């Protein structure tokens, strides 16, 4: 049943008609539980609220799969405005983005021009930028672009997904760049040819990747709500005397919010992934696919309106 629900929500995440409706009617369709507002101004206020609790943030202007250069440039401009707002408002925040939103599927020229504009803005405003990982078909290109940009900029990191068979080899390949990596399990529907189908195998891969990257001496963002993975990370850090400034935990806005604060009180660095914008449908559906129990949160939000 749970797998059927997961597949259902992943199917919905790519439904253009529902995405269009979600943009039309805004967050009142249930998006507000996982999304920190529709505008930069609303996101800034949400970040300030999180910062006041001692929580760091990485903010993401929602959007993906852009197919025109005009829209890609608009998304790039909006990203730069968000980065400038982080600096102007003195927020404890980084910036995350999906390169399909900046034109990766259009051409190499478009994506590289837009990414350099964003990273230049990040450099100027002292804001770190993380390139999110998308589906497996775009994994190699994402890593190739990351490596090219990492040779030019210090303020860029990326993401690896432990449900992919290839990830351990990617960690070895990326190590020479001393990368800042966010480690996640993965949230896309992938064929068994490229990804572990069973949770226990994904978990074991997650542990292996976290340990390897931390022992390589690179900064590691452990992005999970799974308590077993959190405890494993703590054990590895303690056993190998890994300093707390070399890693942090990351969790999604709106999920296990009380645990965010608990980890902070335990003395760990904690960062909240905060998306905002009107293009929230696909993001929310993937959150529901990851944990169908989240449906209750969304329904509660809808019927409150």
Catalytic residues: 132, 182
C-alpha to C-alpha distances, 92 to 87, 111, 118, 223, 234, nearest whole angstrom: 9, 27, 18, 18, 24
C-alpha gyration radius of the chain: 18
Here the tokens at position 233 are: 């990370």
Diameter over CA atoms, the chain: 51
Interior/surface letters 95-109, b for 16+ CB within 10 angstroms, e for the rest: bbbbbbbbbbbbeee
Per DSSP, the residues of 70-129 read HHHHHHHHHHHHHHHHHHHTT-SEEEEE-GGGTTTTT-HHHHHHHHHHHHHHHHHHT--E
Q: Are the C-beta atoms of residues 121 and 156 closer than 8 Å to each other?
A: no
* Cβ atoms of 30 and 68 closer than 8 Å: no
Burial of residue 119 (CB within 10 Å: 0-12, 13-18, 19+) is buried
Q: Which of 231, 287, 248 is nearest to 60 (CA)?
A: 287
- Which residue, 151, 150, 64, 62, is CA-closest to 99? 64
């Amino acid at each position: 049943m749970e797998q059927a629900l997961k597949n259902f929500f992943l199917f919905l995440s790519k439904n253009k008609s529902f995405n269009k409706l979600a943009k039309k009617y805004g967050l009142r369709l249930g998006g507000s539980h996982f999304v920190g507002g529709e505008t930069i101004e609303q996101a800034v206020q949400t970040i300030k609220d999180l910062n006041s609790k001692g929580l760091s943030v990485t903010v993401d202007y929602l959007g993906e799969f852009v197919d025109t250069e005009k829209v890609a440039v608009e998304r790039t401009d909006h990203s730069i405005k968000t980065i400038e707002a982080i600096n102007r408002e003195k927020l404890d925040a980084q910036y995350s983005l999906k390169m399909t939103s900046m034109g990766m599927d259009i051409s190499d020229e478009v994506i590289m021009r837009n990414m350099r504009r964003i990273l230049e803005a990040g450099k100027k405003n002292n804001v770190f930028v993380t390139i999110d990982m998308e589906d497996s078909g775009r994994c190699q290109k994402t890593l190739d672009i990351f490596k090219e940009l990492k040779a030019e900029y210090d303020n860029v990191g990326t993401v690896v997904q432990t449900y992919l068979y290839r990830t351990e080899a990617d960690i070895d390949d990326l190590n020479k760049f001393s990368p800042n990596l966010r480690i996640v399990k993965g949230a896309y529907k992938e064929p068994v040819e490229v990804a572990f189908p069973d949770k226990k195998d994904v978990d074991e891969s997650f542990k292996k990747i976290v340990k390897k990257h931390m022992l390589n001496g690179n900064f590691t963002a452990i992005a999970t709500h799974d308590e077993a993975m959190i405890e494993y990370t703590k054990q590895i850090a303690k056993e190998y005397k890994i300093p707390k400034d070399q890693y942090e935990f990351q969790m999604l806005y709106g999920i296990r919010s009380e645990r965010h604060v608990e980890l902070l009180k335990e003395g760990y660095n904690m960062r909240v992934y905060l998306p905002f914008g009107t293009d929230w449908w696909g993001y929310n559906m993937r959150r529901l696919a990851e944990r169908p129990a989240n449906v209750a949160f969304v329904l509660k939000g809808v019927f409150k309106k």
